[in-house]
Structure 1
Amino acid sequence: MPGPGPTLADIARAAEVSTATVSHALGGTGRLGEGTRRRVREVAAALGYGTRRGPLTRSLGIAVTTYAGSPWDFAGVAYFSRLLTAATSAAHTRGYALTTLPAARGGDPLWHTLAVDGMLLLDSPAGDPVLRALRARGLPVVFDGRPADPWPGDAWVDNDHVATTREVLDHLASSGARRIALHAGYGREFYTGAVTAAYARWCAERGVPELVVPFDPEDAPGLAFDGAFAARERPDAVYTVYDPGGRQVLAAAARHGLRTPGDLLLVCASEDPVYGEKELSVTTVTLNPERIAACAVSLLVKLVESGHAESPGQLTVPAGMRVRASSLPPDMY
């Protein structure tokens, strides 16, 4: 039976460099001379790096790489928690294990040696070092969310963020909103860019000014809204595109004496059931993580079992809006 492929240490010995140099050369990182980078890659190719040897491991990997390099508890976010559970179930149904990797491993040599048949990457940002390492190995990859830097033939599952954004903004406008703020702009993943661009186009079409309030995951009191809520022309509605954003907006509104519903309309993209409780009754956008997970695992298994010979393409899962009191005019709640 063929043995496993070469390790970083094998390549380092053959190329007479350090394992760190090999990791940088294969991952496209670090300050290496182009000659060194090319020589390491040539040695790696000659040793068969990136070429599967032996039987399938029957194991898949999954990672959230949006903020790779920073340790953060993505499993504590309702969207990721629900997706991970559904992806695990889908993988097990097909006879595969699913390994969840921590977010803090962005530049780790782990990605060059991880023993999996393929990877699911969630919210891969521009210049993703994890993606570079996986591409260097030739591992099948499927994305949850269109990658920021797609290659021809990449496979992903995503929502139609343009259509969803327009639906939310039209709903708020129909409820009487005249100055809608967007709470976004934190990550470098495709989702943030697509929503922000759709918001800008919607505002331009109606001749209304844009107001993008920067999201900060550490801003629990919603201090980012202080300037906007204290302004003479304050926003009368907010669409916040991250899970904690709804709580931040409500905290800021309470501090400024704004009632929701009443003085401020609110829609939050979130899977957190707390927003549906009577005390909050916040309108939410669901991205349907269970359907995304099932589709993504199915695409990845197809890539793995076909030998990565042909991309299964891209799939779109519809998002949905759950309308509650926070986004309705006074006479409807």
Structure 2
Amino acid sequence: MPGPTLTDIARAAEVSTATVSHALNDTGRLGDSTRRRVREVATALGYGAPQAPRTRTLGVAVTMYPRAWNYTEVAYFSRALTAATAAAHAKGYALTTLPADRVAEDTWHSLAVDGMLIMDSPRGDPMVHALRARGIPLVFDGVPGDPRPGDHWVDNDHEATTREVLDHLVASGARRVALQSGDGDEHYARAVTAAYAGWCAERGEDPLVVPFDVADGQGRAFDALLRGQDRPDAVYAAYDPGGHQLLTAAARLGLRVPDELRVVCASEDPGYAATEPPVTTVTLDPERTARAAVGLLVGLVEGGGEARPGPVVVPAALLVRASSSGPQPAAG
């Protein structure tokens, strides 16, 4: 069926067709609120702009947190973006990285790209909704918040990885394991937390979950958990800064790592190999994930690709170091 016309959009938005044209083509002297409202109405009606000429450019954005933050400073995203750029260049494409604060605006309605790699897409993602309406090919890093038949994404098996970490900690002598996990809406946080809750239920234990706070450099969120006789003797931090937060909290509370507290952190930061003690980490292999995602995206842009819709699973790996090796024998 034909899509909505400019007249349909104008009627729904209660503006003129000229205003609709200016809003959709980023022309004219419209106020930001009017331009944004018209584009939102057009997207809600399923309006798709005419197919733009090929640009030989791909886009990438992290859409989970629509605020100003420099995700390129996070080791996972930094490494993924470097690998994605190299993979795009190898196939003759430029790669445009969108700043996080622009993701919250209306950039996606006029974004000139042949395809888009979207990382950590939440449920109800307005960028995804708008790009789908425009018919722009999409590939996701992580399960999309609102998956549809025909979607492509690259991800790790977070349930299997979480269970591997928890079983490793128990094998090292831990009796009670807590989890530091995000409270956002991305699939990663939900999958890791659900896997941990299921593992605890199988053992007849209540989950102990500490919300991740990127601004909590001193690890104060762990203080209540790590005080008292019933404290856990191991924590799995599912986000990059969590290992540093735990080491800082343990030092402040007088807990020796790993003798009294074992620590594992999901991180791509090589600096964890040089902490005291070196921290056991989980790598999600962002380079391999990014290369696979770009390959899928170029395939879709250039003719649909041969890959079946659904997930491409990239194995994660547990890099065991001293922080989770269990109590050390006494000297002498």
Deviates more, 1:230-239 or 1:154-163: 230-239
State the superposition RMSD in angstroms: 2.3
* Partner residue in 1 for 2:108: 111
Counterpart in the other structure of 2:202 = 205
Contact 2:154 2:311 in 1 (8 A): yes
Q: Distance in 1 between matches of 2:258 and 2:101?
A: 39
Q: Which runs of 4+ in 1 moved over 3 A?
A: 9-13, 15-18, 307-313
CA distance in 1, matches of 2:43, 2:306: 23
Q: Aligned-pair distance for 1:152?
A: 1.0
Amino acid at match of 2:131: L
Structural mapping, 1:210-221, within 5 Å: 210-221=207-218
- Displacement, 1:287? 0.1
Q: How far apart are 1:278 and its partner, in Å?
A: 5.4
CA distance in 1 between partners of 2:77 and 2:156 (Å): 15
- Tell me the equivalent position of 1:59: 57
Equivalence for 1:260: 257
Stretch of structure 1 that moved more, 229-238 or 309-318 = 309-318
Tell me which residue corresponds to 2:38: 22
Aligned counterpart for 2:90 among listed residues 84, 88, 93:
93
Please list, as runs of the form range in 1=range in 2, the aligned pairs for 1:284-299 lying within 5 A after superposition: 284-299=281-296
Q: CA 1:231 to 1:130, structure 2 compared with 1: closer, same or farther past 3 Å?
A: farther
- Percent identity, aligned pairs only? 59
Residue 107 of structure 1 and its aligned partner are, at CA, apart by 3.3
Which TM-score applies when normalising by structure 2?
0.87
1:245 maps onto 2:248 in alignment: no
After the TM superposition, which residues 1-333 of structure 1 pair with which residues of structure 2 at under 5 Å, given as runs? 14=17, 16=19, 18-28=34-44, 38=45, 41=46, 44-45=47-48, 49=49, 51-54=50-53, 56-68=54-66, 70-277=67-274, 279-306=276-303, 312-331=309-328
Which amino acid letter does the alignment assign opposite residue 14 of structure 1? Answer: T
Q: Which residue number in structure 1 is paired with residue 30 of structure 2?
A: none
Q: Which moved more, 1:228-237 or 1:307-316?
A: 307-316
Unaligned runs of 5+ in 2: 1-5, 21-33
- 1:26-47 CA distance string (max 9 Å, x none): 445xxxxxxxxx4xx5xx45xx
Contact kept, 8 Å, 1:178 with 1:236, in 2: the verdict is yes
CA–CA distance in structure 2, aligned partners of residues 331 and 269 of structure 1: 23
Contact 2:143 2:155 in 1 (8 A): yes
CA contact (8 A) 1:186 1:216 kept: no
Consecutive unaligned residues in structure 1, runs of 5 or more = 1-5, 29-37
In the aligned structure 2, how far is the partner of 1:254 from the partner of 1:240? 17
Distance 2:103 2:43 in 1: 11
Amino acid at match of 2:230: E
- Give the alignment's TM-score, normalised by structure 1: 0.87
